[in-house]
Amino acid sequence: MKKNIVILAASLLCFNLTESKAQFKFSNLFGKNEGGTRSLFEPHSTVSFGAGAAQYLGELNPYGRTVAAVFNPKSLRWGANFTYTRYMSPTFSARVGLSWIRVSGDDNQMDGVKGYEVNFIRNLHFRNDIKELMIAGQYDFIRGGRSYHRREPLIPYIFGGLAVFAHDPVAKADPINTTDGVSKWERLQPLRTEGQGGGPNYDAKPYSLVNLAIPLGFGIRKKMNESWDLGVEAAFRYTFSDYIDDVGGKYAVPGDLKNVKDLSAAMGNRTLERIAVISGKGRADGLRDYLVANGLPSYSDPSVDPFSVGGGGAPIPGFGPGEGRGSSKLKDSYMTLMVSLIYHIPPKIKCPPLR
């Protein structure tokens, strides 16, 4: 009798252990162990340093040319970042990032691009250094191990959150419009190039140099050794500003801009500049083709100066006060592609509990 009881007890014990083991393996898929509690995941943190390329989308690198705009090598610039990430579960983490990103755009890049002749005639350009603070959540598609030592060799992930950024667009003036005849980078927001704050026909005040963006991105981490990973990450930010490039509204009356500064009028409407300041290329041929295509055949004569249109000094038709200088349909955006070196910070050593 006692022998039968021992056999029965041993059988039940083996059954329970087998069932618990199977249940534990199944529940690992959802980050839990037996009893419905969280698995023994060891939270830890990483820091990373990254550098790479940056691209801007907006009036001077149009959304309408999305593929060509994204892969436009002429407007590619650089970016660098520092990121702190806290891994709180096998798949979810929170991150805080600081980035310094340079973006730029130049209407002269539209020279000869069909359908964007207006952009070329507008002849604006800018450069902007963006300082960004981002807070985001991150989801790993492959579960981490109990500790960071046991992480998978290759982990893809996505992230999204909110960013606040400071910016300050600048552009070079035509040397003939500067007091010393030297072209240097000028801050555009104080020039109020679209008449901001100049009366009822304009925006009430200059645009803010601090704004918000929504960052979305994806990346992949490659384990190099116990403590280091190599990461590649692409991120897109849609901003709540239309003035990363200083362009978003209508041309102002030149006299109103001169009330701010003489340079304001020169930088507000650059259609009659003979030379594209950044590239140094002459603009006469492109302007001549535009005028002829828009019903002014007399300018096909090479002896006729296309910059004399309207009697000289008058706006080119379609580029005068009240005409569209930019578009408010979509706000400006910027994106980055970064390569990062990631360091896993060892968690504090914990002594096992006494039993």
CATH of the domain at 178: 2.40.160.20
Residue 195 covered by a domain? yes
Q: For 25-39, 52-66, 116-130, 307-321, which range has the lowest pLDDT when averaged over its residues?
A: 25-39
Check whether 21 has a pLDDT greater than 50.
no
Please choose, from the candidates 111, 112, 124, the residue with its C-alpha nearest in 3D space to the C-alpha of residue 59.
124
* pLDDT for position 12: 41
Domain count, the chain: 1
* pLDDT for position 310: 66
Domain holding 321, by residue range, is 44-345
Check whether 186 has a pLDDT greater than 90.
yes
pLDDT grade for 352, boundaries at 50, 70 and 90: low
Q: pLDDT, tens digit, for every residue of 282-324?
A: 999 999 999 999 888 888 998 889 988 866 566 788 899 999 9
Check whether 248 has a pLDDT greater than 60.
yes
The top-scoring range by mean pLDDT among 1-5, 108-112, 295-299, 327-331 is 108-112
Residue 52 covered by a domain? yes
Residue 31 covered by a domain? no
Residue 12 covered by a domain? no
Residue 113 covered by a domain? yes
pLDDT grade for 24, boundaries at 50, 70 and 90: very low
* pLDDT for position 135: 98
What is the rounded average pLDDT of the residues 15-35?
40
Residues 6+ apart with CB under 8 A from 147: 42, 44, 347
Q: At 142, phi and psi to the nearest 5?
A: -120, 130
Please choose, from the candidates 247, 234, 246, 245, the residue with its C-alpha nearest in 3D space to the C-alpha of residue 70.
234
Q: What integer best gives the mean pLDDT of the chain? A: 87
pLDDT grade for 180, boundaries at 50, 70 and 90: confident
Residue 354 covered by a domain? no
Radius of gyration of the chain (CA): 30
* pLDDT for position 148: 82
pLDDT grade for 150, boundaries at 50, 70 and 90: confident
Q: Are 126 and 168 in contact (CB under 8 A)?
A: no
Residue 119 covered by a domain? yes
* pLDDT for position 347: 82
In percent, the amount of the chain with pLDDT more than 70 equals: 86
* pLDDT for position 255: 92
Check whether 149 has a pLDDT greater than 50.
yes
Residue 15 covered by a domain? no
Centroid of chain to Cα 162: 12
Give the residue, 19 or 152, on which the prediction is more confident. 152
* pLDDT for position 8: 44
Please choose, from the candidates 52, 62, 160, the residue with its C-alpha nearest in 3D space to the C-alpha of residue 115.
62
What is the rounded average pLDDT of the residues 183-202?
93
What is the rounded average pLDDT of the residues 185-204?
94
